[in-house]
Amino acid sequence: MTRQRPKVLIIGGGFGGLFCARRLARTDVDVTILDRSASHLFQPLLYQCATGKLSIGHISRPLREEFARRPNIRTLLGEAVELDPDAHTVTALRPDETAFTIEYDVLVLAAGMRQSYFGNEHFAQWAPGMKTLDDALEIRQRVLTAFEIAESLPPGPERTSWLTFAVAGGGPTGVELAGQIREMATRTLANEFHSIQPQEARVLLFDGGQRVLKSFAPKLAQKATDTLRELGVEMHFGVHVTDVRRDEVTVTPKDGGPARDFATRTALWTAGVEAVPFARHVASTLGATTDRAGRVQVGPDLTVTGHPEIFVIGDLAGRDKLPGVAENAMQGGLYAAACVRRDLSGRPRRPYRYRDLGSAAYISHRNALLQVGPLRVAGSLGWLAWGLIHIAFLTGVKNRVSTVSTWLASIARRGRYHRAFLLGGADRPEQRYTYTNWDPEEPFRHIRGTVRH
C-alpha cells in the first residue's frame, strides 16, 4: 500500500502563500494554493498601476505560471468560504458560485486584509480603496476621467470639484497616491489639455494623526511632508473623513470643532484595513481571539491554540504587533513551510521570530525614503534604493525586466504609458459618473456650457 503524502492547503497566493509554497516545492507533500484571484499581486506597486505608470501585468504574475514546473503544487481559483476543522476540509466557491471542497492535513491561512471603512461601508461606492487590481483600475479610471470631464466643462465650481482629489489616510499608500496624482498633473498631463490646466488640480490629503507616515522616523516623515508640500499636496492633520458623498467629503476635527465639507468628485480611501471575511469565519469556528481589525491570535509557532495543523501568517497573524508588511508575510510563509518540514522529519518546531529588514516609501520622482535599523536615507539615494528593493522583490524575471524598462522610459519622457482605462459596467453606476444622472426623458439637461477651443 502506498503512503498518502500530507496535504498542505494554502489559502491566499499573496506574499505569505507564495513564499510558503515555494519553500515546499521540493518537500514530500502535496500543496494546493487556493486564491480568489488567479495571480500573485505585488501590492506595493499598486499605486503606480492606479496612476498609469505600470500595467496590471507588471505587478501581477499568474500563480499557475509561477508553479508550472512544480509537480507537487497545484493552484485553484476559488474563494474559501467555510472551514470544517473536524473533517479537515475547506469549502470554496468558484467564480460561478458553485462550491467545491478541499481536504487538508495542514492549513496555512494567508488570506491577508481588505480595506476597512470602519463600519461606513457605503463610503466605498464613492471612495474606492486600494488592495486589489480591480481597485487600481477603478482608481485609474476615476482619476483620468475626472481630468477628461473637467476639460469639457466651463470654468466654475463644478469644474473645480472635478479637479479636486481627496485622499483619506496619510500612511504610505495615501502619501504615494496623493504624490502621484499631483505628479501626474504637473509632469505628465501638463501640456495635453486645451481648456484646463491640469497643474491646477488640488490634491487634499486627510489624516487623523499629526503627521504623515507614522511608521517612519519623525525626521524622514518631515522630509516627506516637505516634498509633498513642494509638489502641491494640501495636507490636513488631526481630522477624520466622516462622510463621503458623490460630490463632497466631510471632514471632522478629532478634538471637536465644526465639520467641514470639501467639494470633490474623486475621493480615495486608504485609511484602514481589516481581516478578510474568511479569516473572521475561521477565528469564530475555532474559537480563536481576534483583535479589533480581525487579526487572528496565534501562538509562538503561528498556529491557532489547540490546532497545531492551522497556521495563520502574514497580515492576518495577530501576535506581538507583527507589522502588516510584505517582509513579515514572506518570513511567515517560509517559517510555516519550515515547520511542515520539521514535523515530517520529527524535529521540534522553533518559535517564529520576525526580522525587521526596514521599510521604504516612494514620495515623488527622485524622492523616496528608506529606513533600515539606524540608517535613514531620503531624496535621490533613497529613490535609487527604493527602486532596487522593489525590483528585487517583484515576482518573475519578465516582470522585473519590463518594469525597469517602463520606468526608464517614463523617467526619460515624463510619460505614463498605461493610462488606458475601462468604461465600467452600466449596472455599476458608481463607476460611471456621467451615467448616474442620465435621464433619457431629458437627455441634455446636464450640458451647461459650450466647449471652446
Ligand X SMILES: Cc1cc2nc3c(=O)[nH]c(=O)nc-3n(C[C@H](O)[C@H](O)[C@H](O)COP(=O)(O)OP(=O)(O)OC[C@H]3O[C@@H](n4cnc5c(N)ncnc54)[C@H](O)[C@@H]3O)c2cc1C
Show which residues are catalytic: 176
CB atoms inside a 10 Å sphere around CB 192:
10
User: Quick check: 181 binds ligand X (CB under 6 A)?
Assistant: no
User: Quick check: 111 binds ligand X (CB under 6 A)?
Assistant: yes
Evaluate whether 53 touches 66 at the Cβ level (below 8 Å).
no
Which residue of 21, 22, 44, 216 would you call a contact of ligand X, by CB under 6 A? 44
Q: Which stretch binds ligand X (CB under 6 A): 14-22, 186-194, 421-429, 431-439?
A: 14-22
Of the pair 172, 198, the CB lying nearest ligand X is at 172
Q: Could you please report the per-residue DSSP string of 294-342?
A: -PEE--TTSEETTEEEEEE-GGGEESTT--SSHHHHHHHHHHHHHHHHH
Which residue of 29, 31, 108, 110 would you call a contact of ligand X, by CB under 6 A? 110
User: Quick check: 65 binds ligand X (CB under 6 A)?
Assistant: no
Of the pair 347, 366, the CB lying nearest ligand X is at 366
Q: Could you please report the per-residue DSSP string of 103-139?
A: E-SEEEE---EEE--TT-GGGGGTS--SSSHHHHHHH
Smallest separation, CB 23 to ligand X (Å): 14
User: Quick check: 352 binds ligand X (CB under 6 A)?
Assistant: no
Q: Listing from the earlier edge strand, what are the strands of the sheet with 359-364?
A: 359-364, 367-372, 375-377
Binding residues for ligand X restricted to 266-325, rule: CB under 6 A: 276, 278, 314-315, 324-325
Of the pair 17, 179, the CB lying nearest ligand X is at 17
- Nearby residues of 441 by Cβ (< 8 Å), 6 or more positions away: none
Please tell me the distance from the alpha carbon of residue 241 to that of residue 254, in angstroms, as a whole number: 10
Of the pair 173, 431, the CB lying nearest ligand X is at 173
Smallest separation, CB 11 to ligand X (Å): 5
Q: Which residue has the cell 529588514?
A: 357
Please tell me the distance from the alpha carbon of residue 231 to that of residue 179, in angstroms, as a whole number: 7
User: Quick check: 11 binds ligand X (CB under 6 A)?
Assistant: yes
Please tell me the distance from the alpha carbon of residue 424 to that of residue 48, in angstroms, as a whole number: 20
Task: Tell me how many residues contact ligand X (CB under 6 A).
Answer: 34
Q: Which residue is nearest to ligand X (CB)?
A: 14
Evaluate whether 330 touches 19 at the Cβ level (below 8 Å).
yes
What residue type is assigned to position 414 of the chain?
R
Which residue of 16, 52, 174, 198 would you call a contact of ligand X, by CB under 6 A? 16
Smallest separation, CB 232 to ligand X (Å): 22
User: Quick check: 130 binds ligand X (CB under 6 A)?
Assistant: yes
Please tell me the distance from the alpha carbon of residue 271 to that of residue 409, in angstroms, as a whole number: 32
Binding residues for ligand X restricted to 74-93, rule: CB under 6 A: 79-80
User: Quick check: 382 binds ligand X (CB under 6 A)?
Assistant: no
User: Quick check: 112 binds ligand X (CB under 6 A)?
Assistant: yes
CB atoms inside a 10 Å sphere around CB 102:
18
Of the pair 196, 360, the CB lying nearest ligand X is at 360
Which residue of 10, 15, 23, 310 would you call a contact of ligand X, by CB under 6 A? 15
Please tell me the distance from the alpha carbon of residue 360 to that of residue 388, in angstroms, as a whole number: 11
Please tell me the distance from the alpha carbon of residue 269 to that of residue 174, in angstroms, as a whole number: 8
Of the pair 32, 164, the CB lying nearest ligand X is at 32
User: Quick check: 35 binds ligand X (CB under 6 A)?
Assistant: yes
Q: Alpha helices, DSSP H only, in 107-242?
A: 133-151, 157-162, 172-183, 218-231
Smallest separation, CB 453 to ligand X (Å): 39
Q: Footprint of ligand X on this chain (CB under 6 A)? A: 11-17, 34-37, 41, 43-44, 46-47, 79-80, 110-112, 130-131, 172-173, 276, 278, 314-315, 324-327, 329
